[in-house]
A and B are shown apart, each in its own frame.
Chain A
């Protein structure tokens, strides 16, 4: 029996005579026709917009496709392959140019025999980063430790060659230098340095233990913390000190994607933790910490990145005593990282401000000390809220790395521009091809970050009901 319709003749009732069975939606609200009516041709204004959109697509897409694909030249060994007067047809992009310069684009002027080191760094990076980004893979903690702790050191040693000459800084100054023997020299250890390092470690641990009661800490704990920090730093220093037999490669000859990625990844990886610390500092109860953080943030936000790079490259050496020479790329790296962390700090602070007071009180009432409260309760929520802002900063930073060109560091754009001047590839479309390629490179990375952050947000949002 059909319970949904009253039998003919009975008067219409306001009360449903029985349970109404579900029906499919009317055909006019489903399917492609209904969809386009709702989304493309719903109102006169919508129709105008749709037509305008179609016109834009018509004007932009075919010429772009024609230039980069249909009219493009894909094979050839020199400029003649891409000259319209030689091949007798209009010529679009000159892709053989990219092919010929590909090694330069990827490695800069990194010596050919050593390029495997760069490849190895790329490979380790991908192998460590991929499982870190996929939620299901276990051992996240170990993975993160390897990526953020061990990888930078390994990458540094591989890319530069390691085997730094660490100088002694204590014994040799008080005339005890000759006391230090030469046992370590065979494996490349800086013999002047390590005795000094051990002595300072013990000294600092002793001072920490002595001062601990003043700050209501335990002597043993303070000494342990100090020694632990020295051991970790010592492992890092030892890694860059050991002679692995890798020839030294100056950063001056690095270039292309290598430099772009090194600057971008360092900036990204350093700016988030620094930014978080600065944001916490700016909200600190302690006036000194607050003022220092605020000044730092406002200073770095107030100067243009170009100024920072100029200063780091050309002015800093004038102020430092002659003994200290810091690598040019390293100076740019530090400048970029500090610059980015100031921006990051403000993004994170925005997130911190959105966390209601009740969350702090809930954590405090459970007896969570301040540090744990921040780490376990406040920051996870605050950072989740500002993922779009954080990724926005990452993307901005990724593209801002191109500014290092100004201080003669040859990033991707830098080597491309150098390649443009090669007479063997001088064609009317070389420059456009090069920039098109660079645009694609930056777009792939930035779009990738954007998509990943959206997926991340979605995943972290499962715990919201609304």
Chain B
């Protein structure tokens, strides 16, 4: 499969370090969700995050585009440090695409309108150009023919692919995925994973919370295991699956890989 020219060009321009988390801590009230998270993601790197429910995976990647606020430590995204400065937050969000478990498409807009909304209003792109770009990415996720429909008229798998296309239309340098396939019927998981694989082949920097271990083996550069708000183990996929170091990791893998 040939690489996407737009994505490849964008990827080449990104700084060498995409995301940096240094000593990040977060509390919900008294509950310590993230404990001393340290993580550096290089440009073009694909990272899969796994771990038991409630371990803080979502919280961690949502801190990267400030959907959640961290209370201690430092997060630098694409060279911009996240602080309370709203301008910087918007700047980071423009460079970071996110795909959610429940798609979060805008139900009152058509697929095409969903895709051009942010490029036209945030990037001030002319409408025609935004539409062309949207059609390009809708073709990439293989549903250009649905452009005029509303999200409610699409299957779950199609909606999730639209969500990916919508995020790509902002030409992000980093993509975050929070369990993108766990709300889907099994036969739709494959089509979404294929889209994500092709994105990885284009050199997109990706942080992906998922329990699809096949996907992790195929595309991940590193797999991270989290438990109780900490990164317990981090390794390249082969070593991670064949030789987990930590007792918790072994237990988790034995449960998930049956």
Residues of A participating in the B interface, judged by any CB pair closer than 8 Å: 216, 358-359, 361-369, 372, 376-377, 380-381, 384, 460, 462-466
Contact = CB atoms under 8 A, between A and B. Distances in A.
Nearest to A381: B108
A367 B166 CA distance: 12
Of the listed residues A216, A362, A380, A460, the one surrounded by the most CB atoms of chain B closer than 10 A to its CB is: A362
Contacts of A466: 152
Contacts, number: 77
A377 B107 CA distance: 9
Contacts of B90: 367, 369
A367 B104 contact: no
B152 A464 contact: yes
Interface in B106-123: 106-108, 110, 117-118, 121-122
B122 A366 contact: yes
Interface of B: 65, 67, 85-87, 90, 93-94, 96-98, 100, 102, 104-108, 110, 117-118, 121-122, 150-153, 166-167, 170
Given A381-B108, A463-B150, A466-B152, A376 B93 contact: no
Contacts of B170: 366-367
Contact of B67 (A361, A372, A376, A460): A361
Contact of B122 (A358, A372, A380): A372
A365 B95 CA distance: 10
Given A366-B167, A463-B151, 19 more contacts: A216-B85, A361-B67, A362-B100, A364-B67, A365-B65, A365-B67, A365-B97, A366-B118, A367-B90, A368-B117, A369-B122, A372-B121, A380-B108, A381-B107, A384-B108, A462-B150, A463-B110, A465-B150, A465-B153
A364 B107 CA distance: 16
Given A361-B67, A367-B170, A376 B100 contact: no
A462 B87 CA distance: 37
Contacts of A368: 117-118, 121-122
Contacts of B151: 463
A359 B102 CA distance: 10
Given A365-B167, A366-B122, A377 B93 contact: no
Nearest to A362: B104
A143 B121 CA distance: 22
A358 B100 contact: yes
A372 B123 CA distance: 13
A71 B200 CA distance: 84
